[in-house]
Amino acid sequence: MVNVSTVTEFLLEGFAEAWELRLLLSTLLLLMYLATLLGNLIIITVTTLDQNLHTPMYFFLRNLSIVDMGYISVTVPSACVNSLTDNRAISVVGCATQIYLFLCCVSMELLFLTVMAWDRYVAICQPLQYPVIINLQFCKGITLFCLLGGFLYAALHTGSTFRLSFCQSNVIHQFFCDIPSLLRISCSDIFSNNLLNILSVIGFGGSCSVFIAMSYVQMFSTILKFPLKEERGKAFSTCVPHIAVVSVFLIFACSMYLKPPANSEMIQDMIFSVLYTIVPPFLNPIIYGLRNKQMKEAVRKVILRKFHSGKL
């Protein structure tokens, strides 16, 4: 039997019922969105213009910044506009497009975070072999792999979701289209979809998590052998915030997709969604780039160069 959806559009949830609270939350999220764009644009610009930052670490950081800009742009602007205008409708095609783009960015984000952990592992634990292992060919190849992996992962889950029928309701209890919310309103058998989500989280998310964890364990064991206390402190101060951001992203993203649909509460789901859709892209420029002394120096040089060229 062919599944034909009887729903032509979906209705998304706003941030709150009261206009004042919607205005406050939308303004806060828009400010975080603009700050995220600014931070990532600074990283992209500086790592492109400064020749000293043309290294594998900053190459991956630039890629992560590009993904972060797409990641947060897929959901936040439209959600804020919809909440402020009280226009909650989104077409089925628009919903499918949003899910596909969002999953592309999420999967690419996780893949690039994994690659960046590997890059730091090689730099700290195998410094003499670093130029041989992390060379230009490797950087290009692994970037292509991350992009193709993201496209395929998103296509698989989007296609699997929109083969279902949605005839129980068209209200999505979320501020953007996501798969768990759609599964709750489907009138089709969603066993295979739930199984796919579980296998994806355990297989894809789990393998990346284990790889990142093992990389940092190896890094910490190497850092503890550093002779100078200052070197150990500097290395730990760099690694710990990275782990914190990755952990927030993984814990709340996995909890959203592993939790049984029937046991979900709307407010809790929206809070979790904010934590894994907005907080990581907002923090990544600060944690990975703008706290970096070399990056701050490069930003200062670019600003001074533009200032002097403007005066001339």
Question: Over the stretch 143-199, which tens digit does the pLDDT of each residue have?
Answer: 999 999 999 999 999 999 999 988 778 888 888 998 988 988 888 889 999 899 889
What pLDDT does residue 306 have?
Answer: 67
pTM as predicted: 0.89
Q: How far apart are CA 266 and CA 261, in angstroms?
A: 11
Strand, helix or coil at 12?
A: strand
Residue 214: per-residue pLDDT: 92
Predicted confidence at residue 3, as pLDDT, reads 45
pLDDT of residue 166: 86
Task: Give, rounded to a whole angstrom, the gap between the first and last alpha carbons of the chain.
Answer: 72
Alpha helices in the chain (DSSP H): 19-49, 56-73, 76-85, 92-125, 130-133, 136-161, 179-184, 191-200, 206-223, 229-258, 266-277, 279-284, 293-311
Specify whether the CB–CB gap between 208 and 153 falls below 8 A. no
Count other Cβ atoms within 10 Å, centred on residue 180: 23
pLDDT of residue 60: 93
Q: What pLDDT, on the 0 to 100 scale, is given for residue 8?
A: 84
Can you list the pairs that 266-275 forms with residues at least 24 positions away whose Cβ atoms lie under 8 Å?
266/13, 266/173, 266/174, 269/173, 269/174, 269/180, 269/181, 270/13, 270/15, 270/174, 270/175, 273/174, 273/175, 273/176, 273/178, 274/29, 275/248
Give every residue of the chain whose pLDDT is below 50, as ranges: 1-5
Over residues 192-233, the pLDDT tens digits come to 998 998 899 889 988 998 999 999 999 888 888 887 777 777
CA dist., res. 161 & res. 193, Å (int): 7
Q: What is the pLDDT of residue 261?
A: 55
Phi, psi angle pair for 89, to nearest 5°: -80, 140
Cα(137)–Cα(266) distance, rounded to whole angstroms? 46
Contact 212, 246 (CB under 8 A): yes
